[in-house]
Structure 1
Amino acid sequence: MLTYGLLGYPLLLPAAIGGDFNVKNSTGEPSTIESLPDRELYIRWYQIASFMPVMKFIHNPNSYDDPRIVEIARNITRFRELKVSPLLKKYSRVALDTGLPIIRPLWMIDANDPSCHAVEDEFSIGDKLIVAPILYSGRKSRNIYLPTGVWKDGIDGSLHKGGRWINDYRVQENETPFFENVPSIMNI
């Protein structure tokens, strides 16, 4: 998504939530048994996709017959409608007018910060919102880098001064770490 956005393709269809693959049997033929992705992988994939311009499903949340997954999916969808979609619309217009990508690497927020160039597992929507997804199975924490500025934690509402790392940031399975840039009049 980051590479294609930089190349001028802002409205991409990322891989389907839960994977875009066919299960093969032992002879290499497509299997008649449809297997579902790991429950945690599915949730984390859904979370990341909720910040992308387009979402595609191979398996819907009801496929799991697990009310917790369905409830998490509902909450993610509500969050996308209220918080993410307005930003995606705003930065879609910016992308069409300027050629800047919607989904951006951190170095586009602060090109002079070496840490922004080194971070490979975070991204931003425009310059307004940073997403630091959990990418590994069983993980309940991660280190997060915030560029210069003041950033509001999207989970607990606390303010963080940028230009530094947040180490061992704890997150539940139903949460995605994200941070909103606080307007400059509030900067500390």
Structure 2
Amino acid sequence: LCVSPYIQYLSENFHAGVTTKMFVKDAGGEVTGLTNFQGTLAAILDIFTENGRRWYSEQLQQLSEIHQIMSYRLTYGQKSWLPFRPHFEQTDATPNLYMKSIAELFKDLSNVSFIVEHTSDSRHVTSLIPVATKLSKDKKCLTGAIETALTLGLMGYPFVMADGIVLDPEISENEQGVDNKPSRELYIRWLQMAFLFPAYQYSIAPWEYDPDIINIVHNLSALRNNLVFKEIKDTILQSEVSQGSPIMRPVWWLNPSNLSVHEMKITDEFLIGNNLLVAPVLCEGVEERDVYIPPGTWENI
């Protein structure tokens, strides 16, 4: 379930929040600041106020218990979506500290997992970090997801999730396909890549294409269970991740002293743990590719 710390101006909770002073203030530091969220005026919860933090946590916990919600997706803007020159209850607070603090609030919820779209310095909080895939205009390729996921892993965020395809607004509907979707082939390429991430989420459902796509999804699900889950459940990998190592690893991970591999800047391959090498085809109309194979004995699957 998608949730956010924004309270719309016309909602029942807005008046109560203003009365109890649990919203971020405007530039003057006295009046509740308003900002634009999804096309409407809204206030944003001041996570640094004790009553605001407690109220929000109780609402989330109650919602999950009543409706048996197992996972939340925390969605909110970056600092440009805050009121102009925001004033927090905590005088030394910053937008980055806000991101860290609200992630910590979700960590304290009972029996609920969560996905955080934006975060800062919250490596100690176990949550999924979504990574979007961009659609290239010139070569009709999938870009961005692997390199971003690898970077996050090296920064200390091992639990990354392939989060669907972001359609480039500069590409017309005719270029992108029927109903503004990627082509069938490019969608299959995304599935082949995403199913080998630690986690994935559809932005476009498989049944929006044809029955054959659904069969492909079933086959990829079986492959994922046999390969990715097996590797992630490996006790050695779990121990390494608990000590700060990523799940998705760059190909130089097995031979970090080889400077020539670093210089190659390979951003379209990755390792899951130390035993699963993934080299997906990411462009439409392409049926073969070059693959860098790290040292060791590898079996083609």
User: Normalising by the residue count of structure 2, what TM-score does the alignment of the two structures yield?
Assistant: 0.44
Q: 180, 196, 211: which is aligned to 1:67?
A: 211
Q: Return the alpha-carbon distance in structure 2 between the equivalents of residues 13 and 130 of structure 1.
A: 17
Q: Return the alpha-carbon distance in structure 2 between the equivalents of residues 21 and 146 of structure 1.
A: 32
Q: 1:115 to 1:75 in 2, by over 3 A?
A: farther
Q: 1:96 to 1:143 in 2, by over 3 A?
A: closer
1:127 aligns with 2:274: yes
Q: Return the alpha-carbon distance in structure 2 between the equivalents of residues 152 and 22 of structure 1.
A: 37
1:101 aligns with 2:246: yes
1:87 aligns with 2:231: yes
Q: Is the 8 A contact 1:23 1:35 kept in 2?
A: no
Give the structure with higher Rg (CA): 2
Show CA shifts across 1:45-90 (max 9, x none): 11111111111012221111x2221211110011111221121233
Q: 144, 158, 179: which is aligned to 1:10?
A: 158
Q: Return the alpha-carbon distance in structure 2 between the equivalents of residues 94 and 146 of structure 1.
A: 25
RMSD of the alignment, in Å?
A: 2.3
1:110 aligns with 2:255: yes
Q: Return the alpha-carbon distance in structure 2 between the equivalents of residues 21 and 92 of structure 1.
A: 34
Which residue pairs with 2:300 in the alignment? 153
Which residue pairs with 2:186 in the alignment? 41
Structure 1 consecutive aligned stretches of length 4 or more whose deviation exceeds 3 Å: 20-24
Q: 1:135 Cα shift? A: 1.2
Q: 1:23 Cα shift? A: 7.0
Unpaired segments of 5 or more residues in structure 2? 1-148, 173-177
Q: Which has the higher helix share?
A: 2
Unpaired segments of 5 or more residues in structure 1? 27-32, 155-188
User: Residue type of the partner of 1:107?
Assistant: W
Q: Return the alpha-carbon distance in structure 2 between the equivalents of residues 22 and 123 of structure 1.
A: 24
User: Residue type of the partner of 1:37?
Assistant: P
SS at match of 1:13: strand
Q: Return the alpha-carbon distance in structure 2 between the equivalents of residues 23 and 34 of structure 1.
A: 14
User: Residue type of the partner of 1:79?
Assistant: L
Q: 1:138 Cα shift? A: 0.4
Q: 1:20 Cα shift? A: 3.8
Q: Is the 8 A contact 1:10 1:92 kept in 2?
A: no
Q: 1:15 Cα shift? A: 2.5
Q: 1:82 to 1:35 in 2, by over 3 A?
A: same
Q: Return the alpha-carbon distance in structure 2 between the equivalents of residues 114 and 22 of structure 1.
A: 35
User: Normalising by the residue count of structure 1, what TM-score does the alignment of the two structures yield?
Assistant: 0.69
